[in-house]
Amino acid sequence: MIGSVSPNVINRMPKYLRCLRAAQERGEKRISSAQIAAALGTTASQVRQDLTVFGSYGSQGYGYNIALLAGEIERILGIDAPHEIAVVGVGGIGRALLEHMDFKRYHYHVTAAFDVNPALVGTTVNGVPVYHMQDFARVIGENPVDICMLTVPKSAAMEVARQAYACHVPALWNFSDEDLKLSGLDMVVQNVNFLDSLFTLTYYLEDSKITMTPAANQ
Amino acid sequence: MIGSVSPNVINRMPKYLRCLRAAQERGEKRISSAQIAAALGTTASQVRQDLTVFGSYGSQGYGYNIALLAGEIERILGIDAPHEIAVVGVGGIGRALLEHMDFKRYHYHVTAAFDVNPALVGTTVNGVPVYHMQDFARVIGENPVDICMLTVPKSAAMEVARQAYACHVPALWNFSDEDLKLSGLDMVVQNVNFLDSLFTLTYYLEDSKITMTPAANQ
DNA sequence: TAGATTGTTAATCGATTAACAATC
DNA sequence: TAGATTGTTAATCGATTAACAATC
């Protein structure tokens, strides 16, 4: 059953969850697959197909109980359980994410940060102590983490990934400019690449300039 | 021909480009679809299919000239031409991206930044002047931009998007926690959501714990 | 009960992979 | 020339959409 669920389905689950939490904040109690689909810009069929991969959470004639379904999706994603995170690289992006993401709300606990800059070592960022990268194995050995967030330059990414693997960190959240493949290793990786996203946006921008001529306008 | 190229193909183009630039930095001159596929973890067939959507850039028996193909992909994506960017929200993520992304290398020029915090207005970040959000229409009116980068809280995202639309900004690069749909408007949007990416990583992490039992290990 | 909406099966559509003639 | 590798067509595979019986 390894990798049995389509990545497309997995990628949509957080979007469903956000849609449900937003509806909940508006005070709503129930929602239909058609309503979810309208909010996400997809079809009711797809919403139901996606959910039935994991189980039956709705009722005919009623739809879905929002709180119940949201809880189920959190359980499916595994975000109902606590996770420990270590951050490697406390430069711009690492620091910004440390300071601005509401990790605690989703049971993520950032236990340690690492950098090679001596000026940062010994400080804390948003309550998280910054260690020197030299101490990575020791600190992680004493306090294992589930996820290592990589916010280091491209040149350092692969070496840090190797160290994380050696320390049995099972997951990498990689913000460096180089996609990490790690084929064969039993380590999961999520690559986040800002430039890729800017480039695809630019494609659609230029594409819209061409297709959105006054006559071709929809 | 609107939206005629599959988003999957578009999303892979920047990855091909990075692969080519990396090969170029290693001093290589030619590359085959099989080599690109190996680097990206896909198939040679897919690489060739993707490229032939846009044209014929290779030669039988030879493969692809790296410099030539990289140039073609940059042209396809539209990143060979200059683009102007405005940043709205100079908090953590906005500031971090402003300070750390090498926009200039790909002909992006950040002309203005905006915030509602009076303490930031009048300062510069990495050479970019910070204006008050009140002056958005005037500043953008005087110096139009192609892309508006949204690094504001969820609560402000939709309102800023509306203002950008009113000022004829054709593209939004949205880092706020709320996906923007803007269906109907002739505006292109790229949503970047860190939490979504962390959640899917968590799914695969938990999935690997289950499937990677000693016996099931590959 | 009547209306609504699910879960699920079948039909369609699109994307990936395989195969191979063309040709550098 | 012989070997390699493209561009492209055909085959396969998977994902989305449509349809509908089940039932709340």
Name chain A contacts of B213, Cβ cutoff 8 Å: none
More confident residue, A92 or A106: A106
pLDDT digits over B108-141, tens only? 999 999 999 999 999 999 999 999 999 999 999 9
- Tokens 């790229």 correspond to B190
Q: How far apart are CA A146 and CA A152, in angstroms?
A: 18
Question: Listing from the earlier edge strand, what are the strands of the sheet with B188-191?
Answer: B124-125, B128-132, B108-115, B83-88, B147-150, B171-174, B188-191
List, as ranges, residues 109-128 from B with C-beta within 8 Å of A.
none
The CA distances from residue A27 to A17, A201, B121, B180, in Å, are: 15, 35, 37, 21
Using CA coordinates, name the residue in chain A closest to B189. Answer: A201
Asked if B97's CB is within 8 angstroms of A173's CB, the reply is no
Q: pLDDT at position B218, please?
A: 30
Nucleotides of C under 7 A from a protein CB: 2-9, 14-19, 21-24
Name chain A contacts of B155, Cβ cutoff 8 Å: none
What is chain A's mean pLDDT, rounded? 93
Token pair for residue B103? 């926009």
Tell me what percent of the residues of chain A surpass a pLDDT of 70: 94
Confidence of residue B169 (pLDDT cuts 50, 70, 90): very high
- Enumerate long-range contacts of B192-197, CB under 8 Å, 24 or more apart: B192/A192, B192/A194, B192/A197, B193/A14, B194/A97, B194/A101, B194/A192, B195/A14, B195/A101, B195/A106, B196/A11, B196/A14, B196/A15, B196/A18, B197/A173, B197/A190, B197/A192
pTM: 0.94
Q: Return all residues near B206 (Cβ < 8 A) that are at least 6 apart.
A: A77, A78, A81
- What's the whole-number mean pLDDT along residues B191-208? 96
CA of B169 to C1' of C6 (A): 42
Q: pLDDT at position B205, please?
A: 96
In angstroms, the separation between the Cα of residue A201 and the nearest Cα of chain B is 6
> Residue A86: enclosing H or E segment and its boundaries?
strand A83-88
What is chain B's mean pLDDT, rounded? 93
- Determine if strand C comes within 7 Å of the CB of B59: yes
Confidence of residue B3 (pLDDT cuts 50, 70, 90): low
Nucleotides of D under 7 A from a protein CB: 2-9, 14-19, 21-24
Q: Which residues neighbour strand D (beta carbon < 7 Å)?
A: A 6, 8-9, 42-43, 45-46, 48-49, 59-62; B 32-34, 44-45, 48-49, 51-52, 56-64
Angle between helices A92-100 and B92-100 (to 10 degrees): 170
In angstroms, the separation between the Cα of residue A216 and the nearest Cα of chain B is 9
Q: pLDDT at position A3, please?
A: 57
Option in B3, B77, B91 nearest A202 (CB): B77
List, as ranges, residues 183-212 from B with C-beta within 8 Å of A.
183, 186, 188-190, 192-209, 211-212
Tell whether the model's pLDDT for residue B217 goes beyond 50: no
Q: A182-186, B13-17, B50-54, B154-158: which has the minimum mean pLDDT?
A: A182-186
Tell whether the model's pLDDT for residue A200 goes beyond 60: yes
